[in-house]
Amino acid sequence: MSDDKPAEKKRGFFSRLVSGLSKSSSKLGESVTAIFTKRKLDREALDELEDLLIASDLGTAAALRVTDRLARDRFDKEITDEEVRETLAEVICETLAPLEKPLQLTGTDGPHVILFVGVNGSGKTTTLGKIAVKLKREGRDPILVAGDTFRAAAIEQVSVWGERAKSPVIKREIGADAAGLAFDALEQAEREGRDTVLIDTAGRLQNKAELMDELRKIVRVIRKKNPSAPHETVLVLDGTVGSNAVSQAQAFLDAAQITGLVMTKLDGTAKGGALVQVAEKFQLPIHYIGIGEGEDDLQAFNARDFSRALAGLEG
C-alpha cells in the first residue's frame, strides 16, 4: 500500500502542474489547433507556428527546432494539432532534461550556504521559506537569514517561515548592513553546528547598479568567512514576466555566480514558455518550479512533466 503513495503524490502534482500551466498551454493549444485544422504541413503553416512559438516566449532557437523537426518528419503531409503538440513537448523536454537538477547539499566544508537572489516580487523570500520547510522535513538543520534589510515586511515574512520550518531566524533592524548580517549568520551557524544557511537578499531591479554592487559585497563578505561559499546562488524568476526573464537572468549572472534557477508563479501566466528560453540561453540548472502558494506547490523540476503540461498533453 505504501509503495503507491509516491506515485499518487507525483500524479497529484502533475495534475496541479497541468492546471497551473493551463493559461500557457491553452494559449498554445488553441493557436496550434487554429493553424492545423484540416491542413497539410506546408511552409506557410510552419512559418505561422514559428511565429506562434516565439510569441509564446519559448524563444527563437526552440521555435526553430520544433519547426525543423516537423518539416523533416511530416512536411507536405496531413498532421493533427495533437501531433504538433507531441513534437513540441519532445523538443522542450530534450532542451530541459539536461538541466533538471535537484538541490544537492553535500560535500561542503562547514554549513552549506544558499544565497537567494531575484528582482522585487519574484517570490524569492517565499521560495526560501518553502525550501527551508522541505530541508527540515529531510532531517537538515537550517538557519534562515532575513537579509532583505530594506523592508520590514520581508523580515517578518522570513520570521513566519522560520516558525513553520521550526528553525532559527537571524535578523537585524531595518537598514542594517546585509553583508555584515550574512557574516554573523555564518558564524552563528558554525557555533551552533547548523548544517545549512539560507540567506534572503533585497529584491533588486536589474538596472540598479548600486543594489547589484551590494549583492557583490554580500558574496565577498561571505567568502571571508568561508572561501567556498555561497555554495549555491539561486536565482528566483517570476514566470509572469515572460521574455523579460532573460534580461533579469543576465544581470544577476553579471553580479553573482548563479548556480541554478527556480521559476515561480507559473500558475498565473500564459508565459510559462519563458523557462525554456532562459534555461537554454544560460544553461542554468533548474531546481524547482512553483505553481501556487502552498508549501507543496514548489516541486523539484521534472522536464518531461513540465514539457507535456506546457504542450497541453496527458502525462
Q: Which residues are annotated as a binding site for GTP?
A: 118-125, 200-204, 264-267
Q: Which residues define the annotated binding site?
A: 118-125, 200-204, 264-267
**All residues at 6 or more sequence positions from 136 whose CB lies less than 8 Å from its CB, including other chains:** 142, 165, 166, 167
What residues pair up with 112 in beta bridges, in sequence order? 196
Q: Are 152 and 202 within 8 A, CB to CB?
A: no
Q: At what angle do helices 4-20 and 22-36 cross, to 10 degrees?
A: 70
Q: Which amino acid is at 274?
A: A
Q: What share of the chain is helix, strand, coil (3-state, %, to 5)?
A: 55, 10, 30
| Three cell numbers written together for 242 | 515572460
| Three cell numbers written together for 195 | 548544517
| Three cell numbers written together for 240 | 509572469
| DSSP letters for 25-80 | HHHHHHHHHHHHTT-B--HHHHHHHHHHHHHTTS-HHHHHHHHHHHHHHHTTSB--
H/E element holding 22? helix 22-36
